[in-house]
Amino acid sequence: MTVKDHDKLYIGGQWVPSTGSGTIDVINASTEEVMGRIPDGTPDDVDRAVAAAREAFETWQQTEPAERAKYLQALAEGLGARNEEIAEIITGEVGMPIFLSKMIQAGLPAAVAGSYVGLVDEVVWEEQIGNSLVVREPVGVVGAITPWNYPLHQIVAKVAPALAAGCTVVLKPSEVAPLNAFVLAEILDGIGLPAGVFNLVTGVGPVVGEAIAVHPDVDMVSFTGSTRAGKRVSELAAQTVKRVALELGGKSANVLLDDLDGDELVKAAKAAVGSCYLNSGQTCTAFTRLLVPRDKQGEVVDVIREEVESAWTIGDPAVGAGRLGPLISDVQRQRVRDYIRAGIDEGATLVTGGPDQPDELPTGYYVKPTVFADVEPSMKIAQEEIFGPVLSILPYDDEDDALRIANDSIYGLSGGVWGADVERAKRVARRIRTGQVEVNGGSFNPLAPFGGYKQSGNGRELGKYGLEEFLTVKSLQL
């Protein structure tokens, strides 16, 4: 892939230079080489973008929802037309195998954008309550701060509903995986979205992100990232009492109930690997804790060892050489390796994998798919978000013990339950304190609310719930 340099920001419907002179290198996760450069934005750039968004809001909020939906339809079509280009960019930035990037990293944003075309018609924009007319209005100027693991999906999951609601947006994408955001800006510019409705400012979190969060003319911040960074965003946003929506970390538990046997147990165990390893484990909802009946741990471990060592190959994601690509950066690779070493030091049983660089892949931020057994709930690898291909198997004694372990976390983003008795599995799922729970491998639904309990955040994304995040209500007393 040729190096793609972007030397301008998108502000007020124009491509303009940053007020600063710095640039940020974007590194290919597989080759460790520079694949692009972006402007290292400044607080002054944020000021310009917010001013443009504030001016545009006065008109954009008054457009009919159906008119806004037309732009979202054009956005969805534009994303679809550039699917392969987007997939190739994100495969380079993030390291997801190309065949998965086409479906997930490029395909999902187009589907999410298109979903809001119809959802604007489901909003009750006005309703009469007694002598009051209650109206729903856009919250205002939205600052969107997004992560690197599913970069364009997380952007579109904020930008599309915000635009549908009548808000204007200032976006700061992750500086680690930002090139896809320029494609989005090019599409929005090409479909004639009014100037200032969408603005793109690249840069680092402590500079551009914090300038957005603290800005008095930003009415809402929607942030996806680490819990640590989310706390900082909340602190800064509190200074102007703006609305904050947070989608943060996770340490999701996947519970295999004791009524699973034979083929059902094997199926659940194999599925557990995929639920942990998607995107090389760089998924906030990854099921990184597998809870199994104590007397079946040995059987499950045998199945998973065979599954990982035979099926979860590592390779160059650009040519689809494996099911696992590299991690995003050297920093992340070192962080995951440190967690693997911690698991060994704490006395967990290393089933497969380990902290060493794969011999056959000396270049690239690769980590061996790793599995631990005999993990205790108090261990570091059972409590902290690793964000890599590391699966921890925790044995439990009975159903109540499983639920105690599953809920023993500061996080509450997602989870899973597998059981032969579906009704029992659903009862257990209701007792898990998380925003989503998969039952017997239920598939991801982009129209269902997505978000967390506890320190996994607040607010919801996707579907009608994601649209409602960007609306506020007013009562007209008649």
- As annotated, the active-site residues are 247, 284
Is residue 93 classed as helix, strand or coil in its secondary structure? helix
Beta-carbon count within 10 A of 206 CB: 10
By C-alpha distance, which of 77, 9, 59, 16 is closest to 38?
9
Between CA 273 and CA 282, with CA 279 as vertex, the angle to 5 degrees is 95
Distances 73 to 9, 69, 270 between C-alpha atoms, Å: 24, 6, 38
| Positive/negative CA dihedral, 452, 143, 63, 181 | negative
d(CA 117, CA 18): 33
Residue partners of 442: CB distance under 8 A and separation at least 6: none
| Cα 364 from Cα 329, distance rounded (Å) | 9
Q: What does the DSSP assignment read for 48-90?
A: HHHHHHHHHHHHHTTS-HHHHHHHHHHHHHHHHHTHHHHHHHH
DSSP assignment string, 394-437: EEESSHHHHHHHHT-SSEES-EEEE-SSHHHHHHHHHTS-SS--
How many residues can be counted in the chain? Answer: 478
Largest CA distance in the chain: 74
> Could you give the count of Cα atoms lying within 13 Å of 299 in the half-sphere of its Cβ?
17
